[in-house]
Every structure is written in structure tokens, then in C-alpha cells.
Amino acid sequence: MVTYSVPLKEMNFLLNDVLDVGEHYGRLGYDLGPDDIMPIMQEIAKFAEKEVHSISRSGDVEGVHFEDGKVTLPKGWVESYKKFAEAGWNSIEGPTEYGGQHLPATISVPMSETLASANACWGMLPGLTTAAVETLVAHGSDKLKNQYLPNLISGQWFGTMCLTEAHAGTDLGMIRTKATPIDEETYSISGEKIFITGGDHDAVENIIHLVLARLPGAPEGTAGISLFVVPKININSDQSLAEPNKVTCSSIEHKMGIKASPTCVLNFDGSKGYLVGQANKGMTYMFTMMNTARIGTGIQGLGIANAAYQGALEYSRDRIQMRSLTGIKAKDKPADPIIVHPDVRKMLLTQKALIEGSRALSYYGASLVDLSRHSKNKDEVAQCETLLALLTPVIKGFVTEVGNECTSHALQCFGGHGYIGEHGIEQLARDARITTLYEGTTGIQALDMLGRKVLMTQGQSLKSFTYIIHKFCEAHKEDDVLGTMVKALSAKNKEWGDLTMKIGMNAMANKDAVGGAAVDYLMYSGYVSLGYFWLKMAAAAKVKIDAGEDLKFAKAKLETARFYFDRILPRTLSLASTLVADIGSLMNLEEDSFGLDV
């Protein structure tokens, strides 16, 4: 089984040397610095390595159990979750008035990565509850907040998001779940929802579902969707449990991976529900939860990839096969460790470069979340929200795609041993695969980014980020160490805007040009974004080298940056060609000509 160690040094480097969270927290009014952050991370690391990682493999083998309409988690999961909640970890981001610690996302996101690496399925338990809390904080009435937030934040209750229906999938405008008024406050909810993570389980005493449904006479499509709180067990005004609500789990999904995650089919048979905010505004409210979940999914993809990389690196150092092409390296052994072979090194360095770059992008996203929530400067809040809207699809879509690539490379490093269960890499490959699918597939993220976030803003959201990149490149263009990388990134930054213009022109002639370009555009955007963060990390590493501090770590960071610019950023060359290619080659083939019997 793969062992896992939390990369505290990497996290500390990003938070302090690259993002300067000490200054960041000071601007937001937090009395926090490096000496406060690392003890928090060290404690969650201990919990993740000891309690959570130890039940990852057994949870995958055992899976969840479904009997008589009830779901139970694998052995050891309930106990570990209760320890997590009792230690206060569930309350990290929650508002203090409801029992939370109100700590910034730049602390909670590294924590989420840690849990995802240690045990991706387990890490999902608190994840959606956090998203439910954020949605109720933003849109719920004071009564709903007082009734539900304290126990959700403490971890005594669990939160879900109930969007998908079998016939609708991502097209939520087609949902059929109905909400019929009972009185001024209460509604009867009827319908079936599928793919509900944490829809039923035995880790908590109550589960609070956030459900999309239609009121009588509501407009067609997404404009007629409302959001409701539907508890599994009804609660009294003093928050004590009352009678069970009419919510039942009819089955659990049998999945390729994340087998220990309780993914349920839920039936609402005249369940009591309570309207969140205004009628027919459900999609607007649910996007609060979905965007949080999308960033969380990106972090999950990053975490799984990091666990796989650690396993592959350890194996590649120990496994001996053949001799190095440039001469014997391990004279005391019958063969050399496979890490000396260029192909294995390429796979390992690709993982390292993509994972560390994705971590930097994701933590930067967390810093934008902090500013958008807590800054007192309205202009700064607006700018951060624009940047976050642009980069959320990249964090969700690109990071999970390269996360899958990294787990595949990790498995390949093991050779045939990676394909069997002994080392646990095949589990990580299966678990990683879902990250590109739920909370909106990569194609959905790409359309959201290119269509809504870029073209519908006439490119203004993109310019807000490319300007940041431009300023950083200008500040370092004379650097004798970074100069080549600065020149390459500057060219890509300009090309990013030029390609966007070309896609916009193509779309004026044929709207399918947007859909045809979207995924390639998302991936291009991701590679350029990581180029920026690798340049920032290289600059921070150079400062350490010049000061004679932590030389081995800093030199490794600089060498990995060079690898990224030499061997990964050039992937944009093919993407730049395909994303503006003639749409006809994609759309002209007749639908009945796809078959083998043409």
C-alpha cells in the first residue's frame, strides 16, 4: 500500500514565499502569520496520516453497505469522522456566530488537499457540508441559519446538494422534482435525485439536503427552479430531532472508483421542505454551492495525484531494473533503480511539475476566495470575484484532467505491479477518474469558461488575469536566471489573448466554434496559468538561493520550473492550432455515418 506524508514544506513555501499570506491576512484583519499556520497544518497532517490514510485501502475493498433502505460506512469510518468533528476541524471556515472558527480558505484548502491525498472518499464527508453551510450563509433566512447552521458547522449534521435527475443530467432546466406549498413556510417535495454524495450514511444523526425543485406555475427551464432545505429527520424549533421526514434511499450507485463514498439515489415522497431565499432563484443560489464544490473537486484531483506521485517516487527509487544508458549507477546492486532511466524520470518530473503547479494555482484561488469574502475594498472584491469566476473552471477542469494524467503516469512507473491492488495505485487511478465528471464535466467547465466567463465579458475577465501575468513578466524580464522563462511566458500570454479574439471571430460565423474550441481552450489556459505560477515559484526559489537558504529545496524548485517550460508548456503549440481549426472537420460528418456499417 502507498504510504502518504503531507508535503508541509511545499505548502509552507507556497503560502509564505509565493503568496505571502502573512501580508494577505494582515490586509484582511486576521491576526495570523506563519507561526500560526504551520501548527494547524501539522495537526491536520497527523490526523490525516494516522486516522484517515490508514482506512483508505480497507474502505475501497469493503465499500459502503446498503440494507433495508439504510447506508452504513466501512469499518472505522464513523469513528474517525467523529474524532474529526470533535477536534473542531469541521468548523474551520464557518461563521463564529454559529460556532465556526471563521478561518480563511488559504488554511482550509490545504487541509482539504491533505484529506484528499490521505483518503479521497473520506475527505468528501466534510466537503459538501462546507458548501451547504456557505450556501445557507449567503442565501438563507435568519430562521434557517439558526435552525441548521450550528449543527452543520459542528459536524453533528451532514449537508448534501441534490441536483441531478436521471433524465436531466447536467441540463438542470429539465428537472421534474416538484414543490407544493403546504403553508407559508412549508412545502411538500416530491421527486427522485441520483448521484447524491452522502445522501445517506451512519456517521451523523441527521442529513440536511439542499434540493432543487419546481413550484406550481414556475417558468420553464432554469428560470423556474427553486432551492429547498429538506432534512432527513425533521427538527423542532430548539434544533432537537423530531420524526423522520419522507426521504428514503432507494439504492446506492455501484461505481468504478470512490467505492467507500455513499453515492445514493434519493426519493422525496411528500417530504417537508423549506424555501431558501426567493422562489425561482434556486439556480443562482445553488451556484454558490456548486462553485465551492467545483474548487473542492479540483483540490481532490490534486490530492489524489499527489498521493499517487509519492507512491511512484518511492517505488522508482527502490525498484531495480536494467542498467543506466550512461553507465552503472548502483555498483553494489545487480541493476540500477529505475529512477535513473530517462523515461521514468520524465514521468516523475511531469507529475511533480503538474502537481506543484496545480497546487500553486489552487492556493491562489483560495487567496481570491479570502479577498472576495473579507476585503473591505469594494473594487478589490469585484476584481477578485472576476478572477475567481475565470479561474474556477480551470481549477476544476484542468487540474482534474492533469490529475488523471499524473495518476496514470504513477501507475506506469510501477509497471505491471501498478495494475494489481497490492500497492494501491490502481485504486487512486479509479478514484481520480470521477473528478473530471462530477460537479460538471470538463466540457461543461470549458464552455462555462470560454462562453460565459471570457466571450460574454468581451474578454475583460481574461484581461484581468493576463495583465497580472504581464506585470510580473515585466518586473523580471532582465533577470539573468529567469529571463528565458519570462520570454516564453510573455509570448504565451499575448497569444492567449490573440487566440481568444480568433475564437470570437470564428463564433460570429458559426456558434459551434465555441463548443469545438472550448476544451482545448481550457487546457491551453491551464498550461499558461501554471507557467505563471511556476515563474512565481522560480522567482521565490531564486531569492532563497541568493540568500543561501534551503539550497537543495530551492534548486529543485528552479530545475522543475525549467522542466515545465521546456517539456510541458510546449503542449500549448498543438492546442493553439486545434482550438482555431476549421469547425467543418468536426461538424460536417453526418450523424448516421459514425457507425461501423457505413
Catalytic residues: 439
C-alpha 272/C-alpha 147 separation (Å) is 15
Distance CA 305, CA 463 (A): 31
> Alpha carbon of 499 to those of 251, 459, 490: distances in Å?
47, 11, 14
CB neighbour list of residue 426: distance below 8 Å, 6 or more residues apart: 411, 418, 419, 420
Q: Which residues pair with 422 in a beta bridge?
A: none
Cα–Cα dist 470/467, whole Å: 5
249 sits in the region (left: phi over 0; alpha: psi -120 to 50; else beta) called beta
**CB 259, CB 59: distance < 8 Å:** yes
Number of other residues whose CB lies within 10 A of the CB of residue 59:
25
Cα distance from N-terminal residue to C-terminal residue, the chain = 48
Sign of the four-CA dihedral 170, 173, 177, 182: positive
Question: Of the candidates 82, 127, 160, 118, which has an alpha carbon nearest to the alpha carbon of residue 4?
Answer: 118
CA dihedral 302, 56, 311, 90 (to 10 degrees): 40
3-state secondary structure of 370: helix
Q: Which helix (H) or strand (E) element contains residue 267?
A: strand 263-275
Angle between helices 142-154 and 120-139 (to 10 degrees): 160
Q: Which residues contact 574 (CB under 8 A, 6 or more apart)?
A: none
In terms of phi and psi (left: phi > 0; alpha: psi -120 to 50; beta: otherwise), the region of 415 is left
d(CA 305, CA 315): 15
Nearest to 513 by CA among 579, 590, 591: 579
Per DSSP, 241 falls in state E
* 86 CA to centre of own chain: 25
